């Protein structure tokens, strides 16, 4: 539809004629603008092209006026432009106006970029120029246009991986300067793991690992209380900042009772714990460990399978009738809503071993891939790719990679990402939409579970209505430089913005840290805390922390950086 160029804001720009509705092709050529006076000391030789789509008439007029005032050339051929001004934030839309190949040779900026032009003194190289494609997640492989321009210091680099620029309130972004952990105010003598500083690797790591063998054995045998005692002892060891030389050093620390102190003593004497060594050589432990590593097989099922005489993965494949060809063609399951009988929350389902057996079959087929650890750069890449797709369907979301990655683990079992949007209602249903989008793009092949917001139900023991989750199997696209075809487990968690930071804290782990956070909140504050929110117990009043640190402040706790939350081995 033809579009009349809006009336210029200033008489001086009246020499510009009417452009077409979305391109400058119909504007009279640059010769007509030769009298525009330009601050050449600011932007020498810059040719500007304005894509008019998505811009209002007054905005276009304003841009033209500014361009007249400041730019050497407004060009009518996008191919000739150095700078392309556009309000379009999605790659696909941008590609209606220029090929992506061409875009990668230019600086593509938002209209706001032109505003500093109004100040004659401004040096473009030093302004915080709004860019259509933020540079923070620039894809090196793609050869971005702004990267090229940036080399002569005038124009910010273009990023090809993030495509949307939507204002996100700063409180939903990570703090500019990370909050330092005041280690002196954390104490390894506290009963609560959330008051201790627990590094990824501690000075007594070998001892913690030896105790963890016994813990795992207890858990596999269904001895939950005993397993918890070991987990608590391990978390105490993890936070002890000195090398243990004598048991008297640690005997009085919380959770190290007589039994475990005896094991510590044995370890200090012999460099190992005989019970742990015996466990390691037992066929039962090895088999139960293998079986329970399959997604969907919990300790109870593992024991049942062992009692049936099964010992190897081959045995399992025969038992479950796994056909690798079938796994590849398995349709994803999107209707696994919260009322699915197998879904009682991931933890509960795993404890009760009531996963749908069809998932065990799928997981077995994918075992070779899913058992491989994911390096950090691949977790980053997964997150970038997922954000890219999310921005296509819902611009302006923010996310945090959580789980072991956030605690600094060099390799993770899966990728866990928490998302939100500053406009709360937009979050509802978004998890499912994203899963569909990722499926459409061939990235998500399987969905183990998909849960959506629940209506309010006062009898629920958790704040279920504020989170949506999808537990999926994901493969990076072939276009990614890290593509190997390996399938990965990917957990997507969508939180209402009011509880975003609760979700980030909750999903950052580690397990004992979270457990003690909840315990502390309950014991000391009369507050119920979990990843889906914070409420005061006596009147159910909800609290909405605006930052991650505020979660700690609300609970009266010292801030602990995620890298100090490694309370498990």
- Name the site residues for ligand OXD (rule: CB under 6 A): 403-404, 409, 412-414, 416
Cβ nearer to ligand OXD, comparing 108 with 401: 401
Decide: 496 and 506 in contact? Cβ < 8 Å: no
Phi, psi of 470 (to 5 degrees): -135, 125
Cβ nearer to Mn ion, comparing 6 with 403: 403
Kindly give, in sequence order, each residue whose CB lies less than 8 Å from that of residue 118, ignoring residues fewer than 6 positions away. 66, 69, 70
Closest CB 186 distance from Mn ion, rounded Å: 24
Q: In the structure encoding, which two tokens stand for residue 64, read together? A: 């033209």
Residue 409 binds which of Mn ion, ligand OXD, none (CB < 5-8 A, kind-dependent): ligand OXD
Distance CA 19, CA 295 (A): 59
Q: Which parts of 221-372 fold into alpha helices (H)?
A: 224-239, 258-270, 274-281, 283-292, 299-307, 313-320, 324-329, 346-352, 357-365, 367-370
Cβ nearer to ligand OXD, comparing 162 with 402: 402
Closest CB 403 distance from Mn ion, rounded Å: 3
DSSP SS3 for 492:
strand
Residue 403 touches Mn ion, criterion: CB under 5 A: yes
Residue 491 binds which of Mn ion, ligand OXD, none (CB < 5-8 A, kind-dependent): Mn ion
CA distances from 528 to 358, 508, 518 (A): 35, 18, 7
Closest CB 366 distance from Mn ion, rounded Å: 15
Residue 70 binds which of ligand OXD, Mn ion, none (CB < 5-8 A, kind-dependent): none
Residue 210 touches Mn ion, criterion: CB under 5 A: no
Cβ nearer to Mn ion, comparing 157 with 403: 403
Decide: 473 and 461 in contact? Cβ < 8 Å: no
Cβ nearer to Mn ion, comparing 117 with 370: 370
DSSP SS3 for 489:
strand
Residue 378 touches Mn ion, criterion: CB under 5 A: no
Residue 163 touches Mn ion, criterion: CB under 5 A: no
Nearest residue relative to Mn ion (C-beta):
403
Q: Are strands 467-474 and 444-451 parallel, antiparallel or unpaired?
A: antiparallel
Closest CB 305 distance from ligand OXD, rounded Å: 24
Among 491, 496, 548, 568, binds Mn ion (CB under 5 A): 491
Closest CB 292 distance from ligand OXD, rounded Å: 15
Query: How many Cα atoms sit within 13 Å of 188 on the Cβ side?
Result: 22
Cβ nearer to ligand OXD, comparing 298 with 403: 403
String of DSSP letters for 57-122: HHHHHHHHHHHHHH-SEE-S-GGG-SEEE-----HHHHTTTS-HHHHTTSEEE-GGGGGGGGSTT-
Cβ nearer to ligand OXD, comparing 19 with 404: 404
Which residue, among 398, 392, 324, 336, has the nearest Cα to 362 in the 3D structure? Answer: 324
Q: Tokens 């696909």 appear where?
A: 92
Residue 20 binds which of Mn ion, ligand OXD, none (CB < 5-8 A, kind-dependent): none
Nearest residue relative to ligand OXD (C-beta):
404
From edge to edge, which strands make up the β-sheet containing 415-421?
397-401, 415-421, 488-495, 467-474, 444-451
Stretch of 207-215, 417-425, 489-497, 518-526 lying at the interface with Mn ion (CB under 5 A) = 489-497
Closest CB 327 distance from Mn ion, rounded Å: 21
Residue 157 binds which of Mn ion, ligand OXD, none (CB < 5-8 A, kind-dependent): none
Stretch of 30-38, 179-187, 276-284, 488-496 lying at the interface with Mn ion (CB under 5 A) = 488-496
Closest CB 491 distance from ligand OXD, rounded Å: 9
Cβ nearer to Mn ion, comparing 305 with 492: 492
Among 212, 290, 416, 568, binds Mn ion (CB under 5 A): 416
Decide: 565 and 510 in contact? Cβ < 8 Å: yes
Closest CB 237 distance from ligand OXD, rounded Å: 18
Distance CA 142, CA 145 (A): 9
Distance CA 288, CA 292 (A): 6
Cβ nearer to ligand OXD, comparing 394 with 414: 414
Residue 212 touches Mn ion, criterion: CB under 5 A: no
Decide: 241 and 203 in contact? Cβ < 8 Å: yes
Closest CB 236 distance from ligand OXD, rounded Å: 20
Kindly give, in sequence order, each residue whose CB lies less than 8 Å from that of residue 180, ignoring residues fewer than 6 positions away. 561
Stretch of 156-164, 289-297, 344-352, 398-406 lying at the interface with Mn ion (CB under 5 A) = 398-406
Cβ nearer to ligand OXD, comparing 370 with 495: 370
Distance CA 521, CA 537 (A): 10
> Residue numbers of the site for Mn ion (CB under 5 A)?
403, 414, 416, 491
């Amino acid at each position: 539809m033809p579009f009349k160029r809006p009336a210029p804001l200033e008489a001086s720009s009246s020499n510009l004629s009417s452009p077409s509705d979305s391109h400058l092709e119909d504007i009279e050529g640059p010769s007509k603008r030769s009298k525009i006076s330009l601050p050449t000391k600011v932007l020498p030789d810059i040719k500007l092209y304005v894509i008019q789509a998505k811009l209002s008439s007054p905005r276009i007029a304003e841009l033209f006026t500014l361009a007249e005032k400041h730019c050497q050339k407004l060009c009518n051929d996008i191919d000739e432009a150095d700078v392309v001004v556009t309000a379009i934030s999605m790659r696909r839309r941008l590609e209606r106006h220029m090929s992506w190949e061409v875009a990668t040779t230019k600086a593509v900026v938002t209209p706001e970029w032109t505003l500093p032009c109004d100040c004659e003194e401004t040096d473009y190289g030093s302004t915080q120029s709004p860019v259509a494609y933020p540079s923070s997640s620039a894809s090196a492989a793609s050869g971005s246009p702004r990267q090229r321009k940036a080399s002569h210091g005038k124009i910010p680099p273009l990023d090809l991986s993030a495509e949307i620029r939507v204002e996100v309130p700063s409180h939903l972004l990570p703090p500019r300067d990370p909050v330092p952990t005041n280690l002196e105010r954390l104490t390894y003598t506290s009963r609560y793991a959330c008051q201790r500083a627990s590094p990824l690797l501690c000075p007594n790591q070998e001892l913690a690992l030896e105790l963890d063998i016994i813990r795992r054995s207890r858990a596999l045998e269904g001895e939950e209380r005993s397993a918890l005692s070991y987990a608590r002892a391990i978390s105490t060891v993890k936070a002890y900042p000195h090398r243990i030389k004598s048991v008297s050093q640690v005997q009085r620390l919380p959770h190290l009772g007589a039994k475990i102190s005896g094991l510590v003593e044995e370890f200090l004497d012999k460099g190992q714990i005989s019970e742990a060594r015996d466990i390691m050589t037992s066929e039962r432990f090895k088999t139960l460990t293998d079986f329970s590593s399959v997604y969907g097989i919990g300790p109870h099922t593992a024991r049942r399978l062992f009692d049936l005489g099964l010992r190897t993965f081959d045995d399992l494949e025969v038992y479950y009738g796994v056909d690798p060809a079938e796994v590849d063609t398995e349709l994803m399951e999107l209707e696994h809503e919260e009322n699915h009988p197998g879904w009682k929350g991931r933890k509960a389902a795993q404890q009760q071993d009531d996963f749908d057996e069809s998932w065990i079959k799928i997981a077995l087929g994918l075992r070779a891939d899913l058992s491989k650890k994911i390096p950090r750069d691949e977790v980053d890449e997964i997150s970038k790719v997922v954000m890219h797709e999310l921005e296509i369907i819902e611009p302006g979301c923010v996310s945090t990679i959580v789980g072991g990655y956030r605690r600094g683990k060099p390799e993770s079992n899966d990728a866990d990402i928490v998302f939100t949007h500053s406009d709360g209602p937009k979050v509802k249903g978004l998890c499912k939409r994203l899963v569909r989008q990722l499926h459409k793009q061939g990235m998500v092949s399987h969905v183990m579970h998909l849960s959506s917001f629940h209506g309010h139900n006062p009898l629920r023991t958790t704040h279920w209505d504020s989170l949506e989750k999808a537990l999926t199997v994901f493969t990076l696209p072939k276009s990614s430089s890290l593509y190997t075809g390996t399938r990965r487990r990917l957990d997507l968690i969508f939180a209402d913005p009011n509880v975003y930071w609760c979700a980030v804290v909750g999903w950052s782990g580690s397990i004992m840290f979270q457990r003690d956070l909840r315990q502390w909140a309950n014991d000391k504050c009369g507050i119920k805390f979990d990843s889906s929110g914070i409420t005061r117990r006596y009147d159910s009043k909800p609290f909405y922390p605006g930052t991650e640190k505020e979660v700690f402040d609300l609970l009266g706790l010292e801030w602990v950086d995620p890298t100090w939350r490694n309370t498990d081995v």
